[in-house]
Structure formats: structure tokens, C-alpha cells
Amino acid sequence: MLYFVATPIGNLKDISLRALEVLNSVDIIACEDTRNSLKLLNHYNISKRLIAYHKYNENNSSNGIISLLKEGKNIAVISDSGMPVISDPGYVLIKELKQNNLEYTVIPGANAGLSALILSGLSAERFSFVGFLPDDKKEKEKLLNEVKDYHSTLIFYVAPHDVVKTIKELYEVFGKRRAVLVNEITKLYEKTFEFELADNVEYEPKGEYVLVVEGCGFDKNNDTANMTIEEHLKYYINLGISKPDAIKTVAKERGIHKNEVYQIAINL
């Protein structure tokens, strides 16, 4: 069995009893950075064989992990912090596991994006996780233009040296919106900076940041902000828009998956 195990995002106490149980029971632990992971493992007196599994060796390491599983080894995969796969290595391995019909499961735990969303004070009713923006300028512009009309709160991961640049890029595409920058989550000096994308933000360029940005506002003239999904669908259908197009439009405006809207639409 392979386990994707969530680890603390700051405070070492934020680890589940089940995670500790699994880390103590497996034969091998695959780490994003063995040096960083040793801080956690040593803190809990866990001594296991460690192997490197990071974005620079993900393909080769995935093949090695598959071979070890076929030999009967139990393996845990951890990242430097938080949940593996989510803006961290792991997806390549999942594809290999499925192709080889090998079992895997997840041991849930801390997540920086969700924690920052709650700390931000922005709406958590609907949210979209964007993660790190692409380095390529065209890919970045394409992604930002895709999400700019989402009504859900947007969650971005930002490296400390990219904070000012990222805020500027968001402002150029999104315009004036409320935002909250969150840093040192769960640590002693946890901080939140509330501002608008047009503002100059003073911050300490240290540690990873989560940037939470409010979604695009509904058209107040149509008053869809206070509508249920069913009412929102009926609104567009009554305007003469086909049901499939209404489903797409409502999903886009609310920043939710089409399937969620479709399940409601089939009863109309």
C-alpha cells in the first residue's frame, strides 16, 4: 500500500495520530526534501529509510516507487509541508499507480490554502484553488483570463520574491478587488495583510505566501447574487438561452463545476 500523508504546514503539532501511526508502520518514506522531513521525523522519533521524491526526479522516482511496491513494501509519500500532490509532487506517481493497478490512499491533514481562506475573512461559500501561477507569460495570462470571471474566492500560492509582481499582474487582469496575503500560517508570527490589488503592499519577503482574492461580483442589475442555482438557471432559460448554455454560464459565473449545475438542471 502507498499512503499520501499530509504533514504540518508550520506548527509541528499539526499532525494527526493516524499520520504518525502510518509513518511509523511503513517500510519507506518518500520525501520532497529529506533534510526538511528529518526535522519532523526526528521530532517524533521516527526512523525509516528515506528516498527523495521531488519535482526534479518525479518520473524516475515514481518508477522506483512502483518497483518497491511490487516487492511488497509499504510506502508513505510526504511533501515539505501540507498535502502531497496539491501544488507538490505526486500526480505523476498517481498515474503510474493507476496504470499498474496498485492501491493507494490519503491520510488527510493540514492545508495552507484552506487555512488561509479562513484567515482571510473572504467568502468561503465557494472558492477556487489556483495554486502557483505558471512561469510562462502566455500561459499565465491565459489562466488569469480564465479565472477572472469566477465568482468564487480565488486562492493563489506565491513565492516570497514574486509577491509584488503577482499582485500587479492580478490587478492588470482583475482590476480593483479585495485581497488578503497570509504568511507563517500556524506559526508564532502568523500574519494577514488586507488590501486591494491596486495598493502597494509592505511585507517581509520570507517564507511561502498564500494570496486570497475575492471573486468577480455578480451583475447586480440581474440580482443573481441572491439567487439559488435553480433560480439562476431559470433566469437565463427565461431569457431564451438553451439549457446546456445556461448550465455553462451559471457554472462559470459561480465558479463551480458544470456537473453540480447539471444535476440541478435535469430536474427543471
pLDDT at 220: 42
pTM metric for this prediction: 0.79
- The pLDDT tens digits for 128-150 are 999 999 999 999 999 999 998 88
Supply the range of the domain harboring residue 234.
224-265
Cell of 127: 472558492
Give me the number of domains the chain comprises: 3
Do 209 and 233 lie in a common domain? no
Cell of 129: 484553488
pLDDT at 208: 83
User: Which of 107, 141, 158 is the last residue in one of the domains?
Assistant: 107
Do 67 and 97 lie in a common domain? yes
Percent of the chain whose pLDDT exceeds 70: 96
DSSP state of 89: S
Phi and psi based region of residue 72 (left: phi greater than 0; alpha: psi -120 to 50; beta: remaining): left
CA 40-44-50 angle, to 5 degrees, is 55
Number of neighbours of residue 60 by Cβ within 10 angstroms: 10
Do 42 and 75 lie in a common domain? yes
User: Which of 73, 107, 141 is the last residue in one of the domains?
Assistant: 107
Q: Does some domain include residue 245?
A: yes
Burial string for 202-228 (b: 16+ CB within 10 Å, else e) reads eeeeeebbbbbbbbbebeeeeebeebe
Distance CA 217, CA 214 (A): 8
Do 148 and 195 lie in a common domain? yes
Q: Does some domain include residue 218?
A: no
User: Could you tell me which of 113, 114, 110, 118 has the C-alpha nearest to residue 78?
Assistant: 110
- The pLDDT tens digits for 218-244 are 544 455 667 888 888 888 887 778 899
Report which residue type is found at 245: D
- The pLDDT tens digits for 168-204 are 999 999 998 999 999 999 999 899 999 999 988 878 7
Do 22 and 96 lie in a common domain? yes
